[in-house]
Amino acid sequence: MRLSLAERASLVGPFDYIVLKTIYEDRDKSEYIHYLTLKKKLGQKNVKDLKISLLKLNKLKLVFKDSTSLAFKLTFSGLDILAIKMLYVNHILNKLGSIIGEGKESIVYLGYDFNDNPIVVKFHRIGRNSYKSIRRREPYKKSWITISVENAEREYKALKCVHDNGGKVPRPLGIAYNAVAMEYIDGIELYRVSNNAFDFTKLYNEILGTMRIAYTECKIAHGDLSPYNILIDKENNLFIIDWPQASQSEESLQHDIRNIINFFRRFGISDDPQKIFDYVRGIS
Ligand SMILES: Nc1ncnc2c1ncn2[C@@H]1O[C@H](COP(=O)(O)OP(=O)(O)OP(=O)(O)O)[C@@H](O)[C@H]1O
Ligand SMILES: [Mg+2]
């Protein structure tokens, strides 16, 4: 039987957590950490506990044992568990719920805070394919773990800055390792909105307003803006989600503008891309 992430988190004790964290801290030295290195780092008196813990973590698929040597590496789930524990200790996440979204580079879960309110936890998981393309761009050595954690940090920073400046994004609640916790939006993606009475002009202007805040106040363009990354709640409020690729690139900004203009054309809204480009950069 395959255990859920929440079930596995509940089986990880304090010493298992220390073992996971020690493996995590070694991530950029080499892909696998040898048992003897772990033993040295954790101390002779913990040898028995270490053996038991590694067996358990391997069984739970939180670490992966090398096929030819007594060496271990963290799995994506192992990294997720570190994040869950830290969000719990920081009083952000009390309970993890079910999966509500699965993207190319992340898994999005519903969770509950300590007042039983729903929240969202997005675990960044940069897989082998994207990892390879990043490697090509960044020749120095960096593990997929570090790249996933950096993506989470970029997304959290973007959400925080845009939110603090009045832009329309889910309220960020915290970050831990590869996980970003944020406000849960009870709504649907913009591409699924089919209500004829919907005020698309108002929505269009609000999207541009948030793009302008992001670029002028936070120095970022979203970089993957589309009706798939805009949520609309029951009161027709909008929230722009999915910010890990945010950067200052003007090219990304132009790409986002093209996507938005193309989408809104079907609702009779037309605009000059250059005019919008100036507007979101705060020039006009
Ligand atoms: N704050 C939120 N509230 C409610 N649902 C959310 C929230 N954040 C994300 N989701 C859901 O999870 C899905 C995936 O989230 P997001 O777009 O951030 O991840 P992603 O991995 O980049 O996905 P993709 O690769 O499909 O773009 C969203 O389409 C949405 O349905
Ligand atoms: Mg998305």
Report pLDDT digits (tens) over 235-278.
999 999 999 999 999 999 999 999 999 999 999 999 999 999 99
Q: Is the CB of 223 under 6 A from ligand 1?
A: no
Q: pLDDT per residue over 102-137, tens digit each?
A: 988 999 999 999 999 999 999 999 975 554 455 555
Q: pLDDT per residue over 25-54, tens digit each?
A: 999 888 999 999 999 999 878 899 999 999
Q: pLDDT per residue over 134-185, tens digit each?
A: 555 555 578 899 999 999 999 999 999 999 999 999 999 999 999 999 999 9
Q: Is the CB of 246 under 6 A from ligand 1?
A: no
- CA 99 to ligand 2 center in whole angstroms: 14
pLDDT at 196: 75
Q: At what angle do helices 200-217 and 250-265 cross, to 10 degrees?
A: 180
Model confidence at 1: pLDDT above 80: no
Q: Is the CB of 271 under 6 A from ligand 1?
A: no
Say if CB 190 and CB 230 are below 8 A apart: yes
Phi, psi of 114 (to 5 degrees): -80, -5
Residues around the ion ligand 2 (C-beta < 5 A): 229, 242
Q: Is the CB of 170 under 6 A from ligand 1?
A: yes
Confidence at 194, pLDDT banded by 50, 70, 90: confident
Domains of the chain, CATH where assigned: 5-77 (1.10.10), 90-183 (3.30.200.20), 187-280 (1.10.510.10)
Say if CB 168 and CB 239 are below 8 A apart: yes
Q: What is the pTM of this model?
A: 0.94
- The number of residues in the chain equals 284
Atom of ligand 1 nearest to the CA of 104: 25
Which residue's CA is minimally distant from atom 21 of ligand 1? 103
DSSP code per residue over 78-142: HHHHHHHHHHHHTTS-SEEEEEEEE-SSEEEEEEE-TTS-EEEEEEE---HHHHHHHHHH--S--
Average pLDDT (91-96) is 97
Which residue's CA is minimally distant from atom 27 of ligand 1? 103
Q: pLDDT per residue over 50-87, tens digit each?
A: 999 999 999 999 999 999 999 999 999 999 999 999 99
The C-alpha angle 80, 84, 85, rounded to 5 degrees, equals 120
pLDDT at 130: 58
- CA 242 to ligand 1 center in whole angstroms: 6
Query: Nearest bound ligand to CA 191?
Result: 1
Q: pLDDT per residue over 205-245, tens digit each?
A: 999 999 999 999 999 999 999 999 999 999 999 999 999 99
